[in-house]
Amino acid sequence: MRSKVSKKALAVLLAASMTLPMAISASAEGEELTDGKFAETKHITVEVYDRGNDGGSDPTNNKYTKYIQDKMMELHNVEVEFVAVPRWTEVEQINNLLAAGDAPDICVTYDYPTIQTYANMGGVLDLASFVDDYKDQLPNLWDWLGETNLYWDKDPSTGTLWAIEAKLATSNRINTFVRKDWLDALGLAEPTTKQEFEDMLIAFRDNAETLLGDDADKMIPYSVSYDVGWRAATLIESFIDPDISDREYYVNGFDDRKFTEPGTKEGVRLLNKWYNDGLMWKDFALYGSGDTTEDDMMKAGYVGAFTHNWDYPYRNGEDSILSNLKRMVGEDATYVVVDPFEDSKGTHTKFVSGPIDRKIFFPSTNDEPLASMLYLDFISAPETIEYLQIGDEGVTHNVLDDGAVEVIAATGDDIQNSGFNIDYTITCNGLKLTDPEVTLKSTAHSYAGIDPALVEEADKVANTDMRVGKNVNVGAISAEEGMGPALSEKRDVAYDNAVIAAPEEFDAVWDSNMEDYLSSGGQAIADERAEKWVATFGDVDTLPE
């Protein structure tokens, strides 16, 4: 089962963190650089996610960490030490490290409220002056992130900047995949509507013996995980008004799983129907983050359809879901992308965030801010990003006749623990080569052993009817502080309970869980967001593009 920080435990951690030293001055007196190098060697620590990949490398000690370490010493005389943080419990671990005063000098998280909480207690450095005062020393950081991402979280009232936002090189988010060989075996077309998708799932269920033979009892027509809000995102969001106002979307948008957005309940009601009709994985709620059970069932050929990250079955080279499926079942077995969840306009709106990704911040225990900023500059250099993403020619990639880069399966120390090594390219998520034209041509060839046509279609569908989020910067929302882990757990439980409820109990289960979520802090967050929207923008519903 997944491990989370309880509200009570988090309170204890926050209390302990009051002993953290206050933020040090942004000035760097005496920090002179000669040709970009310190006279005396500096030492910094950098967070890196540990994904626990089977067959992967030590995330703190491998070919890519050595590349970074060697280059930082060569360019800046800075010694870099990597600190592993488990990916699937990263919020809990960052809380623990911050509370103990042991956080790495450069921290990365997806959870901004955690940063805000510690910032208010003096546990996080204000990056505003570093970003501005060191601008001349940070050309790569400024060129890549620009004012948009560097200042995304800058408080409009106080001017404080507790974190800078990494940049998405692609906004692709979620896709739905189906077994094309199963469709062909049953004479079915690829579904284009919710009803056609449901009919397909029924056909999978009712023809389990035809499709799986002796393994018919292992049939899973449609699979999600405990994280329903992410894994069924495009289905759930198809019930949200595609023309929802910026104001309503923001006020209800603390939770990135759209839990409190109007329409979400009806999306989950449909999942509840499918679950009770035997069309979904019965045990989905029992397996927490990082568990491989579901992936293993996909690889073994038991799963007919699933919704996940836009390129999920094609990731991880020889260990990808698709590569394993072909080895286990046969070359004809494949997953293809479909786009069946129409909204009220008949389109397929994909709600995506702005061009932001992970949040990068420095705890107040960081006494080498300039060295740390130089690290972010180095890691944002086009040449650095390209090398970390594709490695060495002939080893982890080939160059095709048209100049496109084709990723090939890596072995040993050349294996990347994350797609495109995003755990090291912390300011960049998504393929970004030094030549934009080559990047465009290479996207479909970036998955070892995968037919580029499958990737091209996945990219096309992920970009269909995309609605990109705007930066609603109204300053800190005090009601959000410290609430991320506690409310996220309540949200996950609420989604899970509602999906597995008896149909006649669905409304009562959903409503009681929603009431608990709102009374535990969710309503206070929405209320404060509504107040600060008006205070910042006035009584308007839409922000300019």
Burial of 357 (0-12, 13-18, 19+ CB in 10 A): buried
DSSP letter for each residue of 84-111: EEEGGGHHHHHHHHHHHT---SBEEES-
Give the pLDDT score at 353.
87
Sign of the Cα torsion 37, 39, 43, 44 reads negative
Give a yes or no: residue 474 inside a domain: yes
Task: Count Cβ atoms within 10 A of the Cβ of residue 294 and give its class: 0-12 exposed, 13-18 middle, 19 or more buried.
Answer: buried
Residue 290: per-residue pLDDT? 86
What's the rounded Cα separation, in Å, for the pair 377 and 384?
10
Average pLDDT over every residue of 396-410: 93
Q: Which residues contact 541 (CB under 8 A, 6 or more apart)?
A: 245, 246, 247, 248
Q: Last residue of a domain, which of 385, 403, 426?
A: 385
Q: Which residues partner with 359 through β-bridges?
A: 109, 165
CA-CA distance, 294 to 282, in Å (whole number)? Answer: 11
Give a yes or no: residue 101 inside a domain.
yes
Burial class (CB in 10 A: 0-12, 13-18, 19+), 493: middle
Tens of pLDDT along 208-244? 999 999 999 999 999 999 999 999 999 999 999 999 9
Q: Does residue 431 lie within any of the structural domains?
A: no
Q: Are 15 and 139 part of one and the same domain?
A: yes
Same-domain check for residues 195 and 327: yes
Residues 50 and 100 in one domain: yes
Q: What is the mean pLDDT of the chain?
A: 93
Q: Is the confidence at residue 6, as pLDDT, over 50? A: no
- Could you give the CA distance from residue 409 to residue 396 in angstroms, rounded to a whole number? 6
Kindly state whether residues 194 and 311 are assigned to the same domain.
yes
At position 142, the amino acid (one-letter code) is W
- Three-state DSSP at 207 gives coil
Report d(CA 452, CA 161) in Å as an integer: 41
- Asked whether residue 180 falls in the same domain as residue 162, the answer is no
Q: What is the model's pLDDT at position 18?
A: 37
In this structure, the answer to whether residues 131 and 151 fall within a common structural domain is yes
Give this prediction's pTM.
0.83
CA 79 to CA 72: how far, in whole Å?
A: 7
pLDDT single digits (tens) 434-448: 999 999 899 999 999
* SS3 category, 498: helix
523 φ/ψ angles, rounded to the nearest 5 degrees: -70, -40
* Phi, psi for residue 316 in degrees, rounded to 5: 80, 25
Which CATH number do you get for residue 17?
Answer: 3.40.190.10
Q: Are strands 405-407 and 397-399 parallel, antiparallel or unpaired?
A: antiparallel
More confident residue, 361 or 20: 361
Q: What is the pLDDT of residues 471-510, one digit of tens each?
A: 999 999 999 988 988 999 999 999 999 999 999 999 999 9
Instruction: Tell me the sheet residues that pair with 461.
Output: none
Q: How far apart are CA 244 and CA 264, in angstroms?
A: 13
Domain shared by 242 and 341, yes or no:
yes
C-alpha distances (whole Å) from 455 to each of 299, 303, 459 are: 18, 20, 6
The residue assigned the tokens 């590349």 is 67
Q: Does residue 148 contact residue 166 with C-beta atoms inside 8 Å?
A: no
Q: What is the pLDDT of residues 135-167, one digit of tens each?
A: 999 999 999 999 999 999 999 999 999 999 999
Question: What's the rounded Cα separation, in Å, for the pair 154 and 473?
Answer: 8
In a domain, 73, yes or no: yes
User: Which two three-digit tokens encode residue 98?
Assistant: 């911050």
Tell me whether residue 145 is in a domain: yes
Structurally, the chain folds into a number of domains equal to: 2
Q: Hey, what are 196's tokens?
A: 């056609």
Domain that holds residue 254: 174-352+470-537
d(CA 245, CA 129): 35
3-state secondary structure (DSSP) of residue 466: strand
Q: How many residues does the chain have?
A: 545
Q: Does 10 have pLDDT greater than 70?
A: no
Q: Is residue 457 part of a domain?
A: no
| Token output for 179 | 């077994």
* % pLDDT > 90, the chain: 87
- Domain-embedded: residue 462: no
Check residue 7 and give its pLDDT: 34
- Burial tier of 450 (Cβ tally within 10 Å: 0-12, 13-18, 19+): buried
Only one residue has tokens 């310190």, namely 38
Work out the average pLDDT over 66-76.
98
pLDDT at 30 over 60: no
Residue position matching structure tokens 């755990």: 423
Say whether both 133 and 182 belong to one domain.
no
pLDDT band at 5 (very low <50, low <70, confident <90, very high): very low
Distances (CA, A) of 388 to 48, 381, 393: 14, 11, 12
Angle at the Cα of 319 from the Cα atoms of 318 and 321, rounded to 5 degrees:
110
E strand or H helix at 372: helix 369-379
Looking at the structure, do residues 13 and 127 belong to the same domain, yes or no?
yes
Give pLDDT, residue 17.
Answer: 41
481 vs 351: CA distance, rounded Å: 25
DSSP letter string over 409-455?
---GGG--SSGGGTTT-TTEES---SSHHHHHHHGGG-STTS-HHHH
pLDDT digits (tens, 9 = 90+) for 267-307: 999 999 999 999 999 999 999 988 999 999 999 999 999 99
Tokens 């890196």 sit on residue: 48
Please list the alpha-helical segments (H only) found in 32-100: 63-76, 90-100
Same domain (yes/no): 22, 61: yes
The answer on 375 and 309 residing in a single domain is no
Do 158 and 280 lie in one domain? The reply is no
29 pLDDT above the threshold of 60: no
Q: Specify burial of residue 236 (Cβ count, 10 A radius: 0-12, 13-18, 19+).
A: buried
Tally of CB atoms within 10 A around 192: 14
Q: Quick check: is 461 in a domain? A: no
∠ CA 116-432-313, nearest 5°, is 85
32 band by pLDDT with thresholds 50, 70 and 90: confident
